[in-house]
Structure 1
Amino acid sequence: MIKQKVITPEEEYEIVLAALKNPAEFRILYDLHYTAIFRFVHSRVSDINAVADVVSDVFYSALTKLSTYSYKGYSIKSWLYKIAYNQIMSLYRSESKIRTVSLDTEDLETLADDGESRSFLDLDVLKRGLNQLSDEDLSLVEMKYFEKISYREMGQILGITEVNAKVKTHRVIKKLRGLIVK
C-alpha cells in the first residue's frame, strides 16, 4: 500500500492559490481527496455509474468554483464533502433515487462503542432504523460514525455550527435508539 504524503491545511491552501493561476495544479487536490470523496458518495448512492458521475461532478464543480473557496484554517476536504453532499441530495431529488447505507460490523461496533444501545449490534434492526431516518438525519449518522468526520467538519458540510452538528447528531442517535427498541 502506497501512503500519500499528509499535508497541512495551510499547504493545501497554497495549492488552491496555485490552482487558481494554473488549473492543472488542482490535480494535487484531486489525488489527495478522490478516495475519501468516492467512499462518501458510494456509501450513499447504490448505482456505480451514478457514483462515478457524482464524484466527477464534485471535482468539476470544485475546480470551476475554486475562486469562491474561503480558507478558514482547515482542510479543503470539508468543502469537497459539502459539494458532494449537495450533489447527492440533488440526485435524490431529480431522479427519485433510493438512498443506500453501507454498513459493516466495524461501523456497528463504532456506534455501540460510543456509549449507545447495544441493540445497534443487530445489523438488520439497525438498517431498518436507519431507513426510517430523514436524509439529513441519516447523513449526520453516516458522517460521524461511518466517515469519521469531526463535528467541526460536519458543521461546515451542512452549513451549521460545530455545536449544532453535535447536538443534532446526539438527538438523531437518541431517535435511532427509540426506533430500534420498538
Structure 2
Amino acid sequence: MEGLASISENERQQIQAAQKNPQAFRPLYEKHYRPIFLFVYRRVDNESVAADITSQVFLNAMLHLKKYKITKAPFQSWLYRIAHNEVMQFFRKTQHVRKIVIDENLLAELKNEEDYSPDYLEKWRDQLIVAINTLRLEEVQLLELRFFEQKPFREISFILNITENHAKVKTYRLLAKLRKQMEMQISVS
C-alpha cells in the first residue's frame, strides 16, 4: 500500500512555531513555495497568474495555520489541497480555458514504452490531448495529481478530500475512458 512521507521533526517544529508566531512562517514558505508555484503554473500556464494564485495559497495557509492539525500527511499535501482549491476557484471565476502541458518524459511514462519513434509519440500525444479535452476539470485534476505530479493515491485522497479507494477507482475509470476515447479516434482516422 502506498504511504505518505511522514512529517519530519524539523518541519513539525517549524509548523508549531508558525502557529504561535506568524513571523515564523517564513521557513515553511521558502521550503514549499517552488513546488506549489510549479503545481499552479502547470495548470494556468501563465507566470503572473500562477504567482498571484500561489501568493493566495500561502496567505490562506498562514491565516488558517492555527487550525492545521499535524498528522501523518505531509504539510505540503495540505498546501496542495489549498492550491487545488484556489486553482479550481480561479477557473470557475474567470472562465479561462484550462491548459494541459504534456512533456516528452510524461508522454513516454503514460505510454509505458520508451522505444517508440518521436513521430508515433507525437501522434499519440495529439490523440491523448483530444481525449483529455473531453474530461471535466475535476477529472483532469485527478489525472494530473497521479501522473504529472506523481502523487500516491493516499496523498491524492488527502488533497482532493476523498477516500483513497475512491481516488483509485476514479483514476482507473478515467484511464479506461481515455483509452476508449483514443480507440474511437484511431478507428475514425
TM-score scaled to structure 2, two decimals?
Answer: 0.85
Query: Is residue 149 of structure 1 aligned with residue 148 of structure 2?
Result: no
Partner of 1:128: 130
Question: Which structure has the bigger radius of gyration?
Answer: 2
**Count of residue pairs the alignment pairs up:** 174
Q: Aligned equivalents of 2:57 and 2:8: distance in 1? A: 20
Partner of 2:35: 36
Task: Give the partner amino acid of 1:147.
Answer: E
* SS of aligned partner of 1:44: helix
Partner of 1:175: 177
Task: Give the partner amino acid of 2:85.
Answer: N
Q: Aligned equivalents of 1:17 and 1:98: distance in 2? A: 39
* SS of aligned partner of 2:10: helix
Q: Aligned equivalents of 1:113 and 1:160: distance in 2? A: 27
Aligned residues: percent identity?
38
* SS of aligned partner of 2:101: coil
The answer on whether the counterparts of 2:40 and 2:87 sit within 8 Å (CA) in structure 1 is: yes
Give the number of the structure with larger relative contact order, counting CA–CA contacts within 8 Å between residues 6 or more apart: 2
* SS of aligned partner of 1:148: coil
Partner of 1:81: 80
Task: Give the partner amino acid of 2:29.
Answer: Y
Partner of 1:139: 141
Task: Give the partner amino acid of 2:101.
Answer: S
Q: Aligned equivalents of 1:9 and 1:94: distance in 2? A: 37
Deviation at 1:24, TM superposition (A): 2.1
Query: Is residue 162 of structure 1 aligned with residue 164 of structure 2?
Result: yes
Partner of 1:108: 107
Q: Aligned equivalents of 1:121 and 1:167: distance in 2? A: 28
TM-score scaled to structure 1, two decimals?
Answer: 0.88
* SS of aligned partner of 2:44: coil
RMSD value over aligned CA atoms? Answer: 2.1
Deviation at 1:162, TM superposition (A): 1.2
Partner of 2:187: none
Structure 1 regions of 5+ residues with no counterpart? 1-6
The 5 Å alignment of 1:16-31 reads 16-31=15-30
Deviation at 1:119, TM superposition (A): 7.9
Q: Residue 65 and residue 26 in structure 1: after superposition, are their counterparts in 2 closer, same or farther (change >3 A)?
A: same
